[in-house]
Structure formats: structure tokens, C-alpha cells
Amino acid sequence: MKLILRFKKGFLLSVNFLLLQFIFTNVSAQTFTGLGGPILDADTTNFSQQVSSLPTDKLRPQYGLASVELNLTHTYVQNLVIYVIAPDGTPINLMYNAGGSGDNLTGTVFTDAAVTNIQLATPAAAPFAGNYNPREAIGNINNYHSGEGEWKLVIRDDAAGDIGNLISWKLNFAANVTGVADTFNSNIPVIYLNTFMEVPRVDSVIRGNVKVIDNGGNARNKASDSIFQFLGNVEMKVRGNYSLNFPQRSYNIELFRQNWSDDTSVALCGMPAETDWLLVGTWNDRAFVRNPLMYQLFYQMGHYATRFRFCEVFLNGEYVGIYQLTEKIKRDNDRVDIAKLKDTDLAGDSLTGGYIFKHDYVTDTMGWLSSVAPPLCNFNFGRYQYVYPSYKNIKPQQADYIRTIVDTLEKRLFSFQFADSIYGYRPLIDANSFADYLICNEFSWNGDGFAKSMYFYKDKDSKDPKIYAGPVWDFDWSLKKMPWINDSIDVWSYKANPCNNLQATLPWYSIMMEDPYFRNIVRCRYEYFRTNILSQTHIDNSIDAIESMVDEAQIRHYTKWPTWGLSLGTPEQMPYSINMQQELDTMKAMIARRLQWMDMHLPGICTTPLSIPNVVEQQSVQVYPNPAQTQLNIQSEHPIDQIIIYNALGQCVYRTHTTSRSMQVDVSNFTSGIYILKTQTVKHSYINRIVIE
């Protein structure tokens, strides 16, 4: 030790490194043999083995798990699915329904060093004596986590009638093995979910753990990363209605730290912190753009829309494809920004908000049945559900209040004086949000948008007494040819007969569109948006930009789910796309035809076609001096996302992005005249009319 300390620092490090290499390459291999027992018929059997005294505190390529050896008796081995699970919970699928009608595994060694994958073995029949690649790489376990503790061997028997016994199983550790660094990496976030082989259910939550890898920017996200954006526990449940039939399922997930006593809010993948998240599968969207595109458009119209990030997901060690990690529609300052309603808010102004409710299928969220049937339909009443507060938390006075507000709106809509400016529906709603909701769902010919997944919210009366439409939600059936969309795409979804189908189309919009006041608002906002975010160029560029995010990952996704040219299980009209380019070209062409038809047939008259829609007019953004000559100062209560200035013709003459709360804009080169300044924050769009002298 004294001799080493006399060397220079750089040489000392070299000696230590060589010494470490010597230790790893010369340490003896270690084998731990686990006991066996009966393999349960048509059930799952767990075996365990303690591992201790490894020469390194963490498994890694220098020293880690080299192989797993199995000896078992079982008729018709193809019934079996076998996993090994490391102490940190990392599972590896050794084999999945391989072996055909053969019997037994005799000295079957699973190792990454083998030549043949057991799933592709020839002949395909057991007993598979010798070395084979497992279905998933052993190297995934050598992930720089501790190998000491309880290891598990999980054997699932998928069919009844064949039985057997595990005789023994061996964990072989050695130097210079494959490591996780040799396996998976992605340009988008990667999420690993481990439920310890328990299959997520629809009827109840199950527990597991989760790690989220997101290094941000252009950095790669690798399975070998030892620093995680989040590492902890998770409760998860299968979500959806029709999508429950899809092979790639969607999930509700709730995050916890190291115990289950309290959930925890985490800022994932650049989105504001929350504890509740959604993993939305992309099975029903070959292009991956439908939900993202429509959420983006609604946000650009000046409203809150759910944020998302593409990610690749592993469930119990199995790659399950591209998902959209999505915000759940919730009340908070960074999402639906309305007043927080406490249990004690039972009277006065505090009782009036905030609320979120929806018109949807009746599933596990309870609500109420409309008190008014649609005109000419005396049986198909609207069904509404409490979202915030949830039906479990809402107090009777609060439930009665929001139900009464909606009942009042419907009674006014269904009355003869529905269009009256005082006694009709107009004073009860925010017309701009309702107009934009209609535009989004009609542009995307989304029939579901007027029958289910319809969200609404209301703030406290002292802040804003009106009902708002949105956030928009659930577009995976949109922007594609369904049997109810005729060849020329010339139908209005909002006009669907409310008496048809189990889930009634909400007739609110068909009534509102009979009112010239509302029709004209829709027409004006549509014509304005056609000059920018609903222009064909903007739509095409947005589609390409969204799809480019998964340009790399889609290869892995479609290797897992090879669905090109096949039916997805939904009644989409043939021919089905055979590749991504065909899918995008078809979508863009249909959008172009739809927009051209809407240009000609959307009801309403707009006297100022290029007028800027008054999205939000509040004092949250200060602009001075006004008039201005050389410099314009902008100050906001909330972080600014972007600044846009339009001239009197509605043309964009200035645009910039920022994250600051204050900005200075040089207007010295602007032509004298009236301009419109749009300040987009994370919460709202603010409009100011400015004069340049």
C-alpha cells in the first residue's frame, strides 16, 4: 500500500483500474442451485433461491449472471412460460410456449453466448439439452443493480391436462458476460413496468414497480442507465372500452415512492408533476399522430390540452411497443386551472366551482341521467359523470349543484326560446370554447366527439360563471375511413340522430348550430384558423413533425405488432395501409378533402374573415407603451410560451418562443398601423390590440 501511494495520481488510477480488471477476470465462477417441486397445472408456480457473497456489489458485464440451467419433467413443454427474476425485480423471459409436444427440459442452459434462440430451435421439440439463447437476453439482468438477495424462477402453465416437476435450477455467475449495455436503447423515453408476472386487470388495480428513463434532448435512453427520472412503485389498471379488445392495452398508472402509504407527484418527461398518468396504446393509430395532432390544435386555439410524450414500454420484461405517456384530465394549476373544491365548500360562491364533468359511457365513474330527453326522442337521455370531484369524493350539495347547472342548460337548449340572449343557453356557456370543440371534432370527422369522451368544466362564479367545452379527448378513431363516413366526407357528426345507438349523440351542438349567433362564431373562428393552424401546409407539417418523433421506434413497434395491411379489429374501411408513407399520404389527402368541403358548407357568416379570435382578454398580460414607436414591453403573470404579432390583414409578422415572464420586442421596422399581439402562456392565450406609430 505504501508503494502505491508514492506514485503520481494518474498512475495510481491506472493501477487501481488494472487491479479491478484482474479481480473480475480471475474470480472464480459461482453457481447457486435452487430446489424444485411440483409445477402447478394450469397455474403459476414460484420458486426462490437466495444469492449472497458475490465478488461485486452490482451485476455488470465484468461479473454477472452468465446462464440459467433448468432440469424439469413436464409433458407437452409448449404449455410452459418461464421467467427468472432478479432481486431488483428485473424479469427475463427464458422461454414462451416453445418445445412443441415434446417432454421435459434436460440440462437446458439459457445463455446469451449460445448460437440458437430456443424459440427458433430446430427441431422445435423438447427436451432441448445443451445451450440456447433465451427469449430475452440474460444481459438485461446485468444492469448495475445488486445481484444479492432473493431470485425467483416463475413457471406458468398455460393449459390444463399436462403436469410435471421442477427437479433443479441453477444460476451461474461468471466474469466477462453480456451486460445490459449491449441491449436496448432509444431516442425517446423508455418505461419499464414490472408486476411480477401478474397480468394487469380491468376490474382492479395491481401493484408493481416502475422505472422511467428520459435523459432529455438528443441523449439516448439506454437500458444500462443507472440514473432514472423516476424509480419507485406503481399501481396500474387496464383502461378503455372498445380498446380492451386490442392486443396492445392501455393503462392507468399511479406513482408511489418506496412505500404504498402515499402517492407521489413526479414531473415526467418534461410535463408538470402529477401522480396519475395514462399509458395510451397506439394500436388503433397506425401513424401515431391522431391524438397528438388534435391535442396540439386545441392548444393552439388557446385552450388547455393534455400533454403527452411518446415512449417505448416494457411490461414484465416484454417489449410492448410505442405508447403515449399522457396527462390525465385533472384539476390543478398546470392542467384544468379552476378553483379547488374542498369538502367544506357547501354553500355560497365556494360551492359554485370548480367542477369537471363528462358525457361518456357509464363505466366505473358514476354520475347522473339527464332530466330532459332530446327533442323527438323520449328515451335516450344523456348520461353524465363526475370527474372532479370524483363520484367517490363529491359531496351531495356539490353533486346537486353541478347537476342543476347542467339541467338548467339543457332545459334552455330544449326550449322554444333557446337562442334568447338572456333566457336562452348563451349566458351559460363560453361560446369560443364550444365553437373550437366543434371545429376540432368536425375537422377530424370524429363522431365519437359528440357522443362520448366529452369533457366540460366550470370555475367558481366569482372567477367565471360559464361552462367551458373541453379539453378535447380520444381521437384514435378519427381521421380515417369508417363505414359511417361516406366517400365524399360530406357529413356533419354533430347532426347524428340522438335516438340512435346505445350511447346517444349529445344534441347540444345541433341545437346551438340553429342559432345564427353561435353559427357565426364558429364560422369566424374557423376562417381565422384556416389562415394558420388549419391550413393544409401547417397540418401536413404537424403530421410529419409528430411522426418523425417515432421514426426510429416504429420499426421496433411494428416488429412487435406486424399489422400493416391487416385489420386492427375496428371497422376501418379497406384497403388497409401497407406502410407508413401510404398511411400518411392517405390521411393528408382525406384532410384536404374534408377542409375543402368545410370551407364550402360550414354554416354561418363572418363579416371580418381575418379577425383575430378573442381567445382571452384579461389583465394577466401587460403591454406598454401603447402606442409604441421603437420598443414594445410585454409582462405576464405566467411563463410565456410564444409571442405572435399579426398585422391588420391577419398575417403573422413576428413570432418568437421563450420561457420568460417578460419580453422586449423591437418594432422600429414595423409599418405604422394597428396590430394584434397574441401572448401564449402555458395556461391561456391573451390578445392585445397595439398601435405602432
Region 61-86: what's the mean pLDDT? Answer: 94
Closest residue by Cα to residue 195 from 43, 279, 89: 89
What digits encode the pLDDT tens for the residues 224-261? Answer: 787 889 999 999 999 988 788 899 999 999 999 877 77
CB contact at 8 A, 541 and 263: no
Are 632 and 670 within one domain? yes
Region 294-308: what's the mean pLDDT? Answer: 94
Confidence class for position 151, pLDDT limits 50, 70, 90: very high
Burial class (CB in 10 A: 0-12, 13-18, 19+), 328: middle
CA distance 108 to 426: 74
CB contact at 8 A, 627 and 593: no
Distances (CA, A) of 479 to 241, 449, 451, 574, 662: 20, 12, 17, 14, 39
Does pLDDT of 98 surpass 80? Answer: yes
How high is the pLDDT of residue 485?
A: 57
Are 196 and 169 within one domain? no
Q: Of the ranges 273-282, 523-532, 675-684, which is most confident? A: 273-282
How high is the pLDDT of residue 617?
A: 38
129: alpha, beta or left, given left = phi > 0 and alpha = psi -120 to 50? beta
For residue 556, being part of any structural domain is answered with no
Are 416 and 454 within one domain? yes
Does pLDDT of 373 surpass 80? Answer: no
Lowest mean pLDDT among 2-11, 638-647, 681-690: 2-11
Region 192-197: what's the mean pLDDT? Answer: 83
Are 385 and 513 within one domain? yes
Are 102 and 145 within one domain? yes
Are 317 and 359 within one domain? no
CA distance 688 to 651: 16
CA distance 643 to 686: 10
Q: Would you tell me how many other CB atoms lie within 10 Å of the CB of residue 63?
A: 25
CB contact at 8 A, 308 and 289: no
Between residues 613 and 98, the one the model is more confident about: 98
> What percent of the chain is helix, strand and coil (3-state, nearest 5)?
25, 30, 45
Domains in the chain, number: 4
For residue 342, being part of any structural domain is answered with no
Are 255 and 383 within one domain? no
For residue 588, being part of any structural domain is answered with yes
Are 586 and 680 within one domain? no
Are 156 and 210 within one domain? no
Among 131, 155, 182, the domain-final residue is: 182
Closest residue by Cα to residue 484 from 475, 476, 493: 493
CB contact at 8 A, 480 and 447: no
Are 194 and 178 within one domain? no
Where would I find the H helices in 234-284?
none
Q: Would you tell me how many other CB atoms lie within 10 Å of the CB of residue 246?
A: 18
How high is the pLDDT of residue 378?
A: 65
What digits encode the pLDDT tens for the residues 625-671? Answer: 888 888 898 888 778 888 888 776 666 788 888 878 888 899 988 88
For residue 611, being part of any structural domain is answered with no
How high is the pLDDT of residue 3?
A: 38
DSSP 102: -
How high is the pLDDT of residue 143?
A: 81
115: alpha, beta or left, given left = phi > 0 and alpha = psi -120 to 50? alpha
Confidence class for position 484, pLDDT limits 50, 70, 90: low
For residue 545, being part of any structural domain is answered with no
- Residue 186's DSSP bridge partners are 221
How high is the pLDDT of residue 625?
A: 86
Are 266 and 284 within one domain? yes
How high is the pLDDT of residue 326?
A: 97
Does pLDDT of 120 surpass 80? Answer: yes
Collect all residues with Cβ–Cβ distance below 8 Å to 534 and sequence separation of at least 6. Answer: 297, 439, 443, 526, 595
How high is the pLDDT of residue 2?
A: 36
Are 269 and 289 within one domain? yes
Q: Beta 230-239 vs 206-213: how paired, if at all?
A: antiparallel
Distances (CA, A) of 338 to 389, 458, 679: 12, 7, 20
Collect all residues with Cβ–Cβ distance below 8 Å to 198 and sequence separation of at least 6. Answer: 206, 208
Lowest mean pLDDT among 243-257, 282-296, 339-353: 243-257
Termini Cα distance of the chain:
80
How high is the pLDDT of residue 14?
A: 38
Cell of 351: 360551492
For residue 231, being part of any structural domain is answered with yes
Confidence class for position 572, pLDDT limits 50, 70, 90: confident
Residues in the chain: 693
Helices (H) and strands (E) counted in the chain, each on its own, are 10, 30
Burial class (CB in 10 A: 0-12, 13-18, 19+), 659: exposed
For residue 547, being part of any structural domain is answered with no
Element (H, E) at 548: helix 536-548
For residue 289, being part of any structural domain is answered with yes
Between residues 267 and 12, the one the model is more confident about: 267
Region 161-180: what's the mean pLDDT? Answer: 92
Region 129-152: what's the mean pLDDT? Answer: 90
Supply φ then ψ for residue 253, to 5 degrees. -130, 145
Region 383-395: what's the mean pLDDT? Answer: 94
Q: Beta 367-369 vs 276-281: how paired, if at all?
A: unpaired
599: alpha, beta or left, given left = phi > 0 and alpha = psi -120 to 50? alpha
Which segments of 263-317 are extended strands (E)?
A: 276-281, 308-315
Looking at this protein, which amino acid is placed at residue 581? Q
DSSP 331: B
Confidence class for position 217, pLDDT limits 50, 70, 90: confident
Confidence class for position 216, pLDDT limits 50, 70, 90: confident
How high is the pLDDT of residue 616?
A: 40
Region 519-536: what's the mean pLDDT? Answer: 92
How high is the pLDDT of residue 376?
A: 65
Edge to edge, the sheet with strand 631-636 lists 621-624, 631-636, 662-666
CATH number of residue 639's parent domain? 2.60.40.3080
Does pLDDT of 56 surpass 90? Answer: no
Region 514-521: what's the mean pLDDT? Answer: 94
Cell of 211: 422505472
Confidence class for position 20, pLDDT limits 50, 70, 90: very low
Does pLDDT of 542 surpass 60? Answer: yes
CB contact at 8 A, 383 and 406: no
Burial class (CB in 10 A: 0-12, 13-18, 19+), 679: buried
CB contact at 8 A, 345 and 381: no
Among 133, 152, 182, the domain-final residue is: 182
Residue 226 C-beta-side C-alpha neighbours within 13 Å: 10
How high is the pLDDT of residue 526?
A: 94
Q: Would you tell me how many other CB atoms lie within 10 Å of the CB of residue 248?
A: 19
Between residues 511 and 650, the one the model is more confident about: 511
Interior angle at CA 477, CA 475 and CA 483, nearest 5: 145
Domain coverage including residue 235: 185-327
Does pLDDT of 12 surpass 60? Answer: no
CATH number of residue 122's parent domain? 2.60.120.260
Region 60-89: what's the mean pLDDT? Answer: 93
CA distance 300 to 329: 18
CA distance 604 to 627: 35
Region 250-275: what's the mean pLDDT? Answer: 89
Does pLDDT of 96 surpass 60? Answer: yes
- State the residue for C-alpha cell 461479473: 63
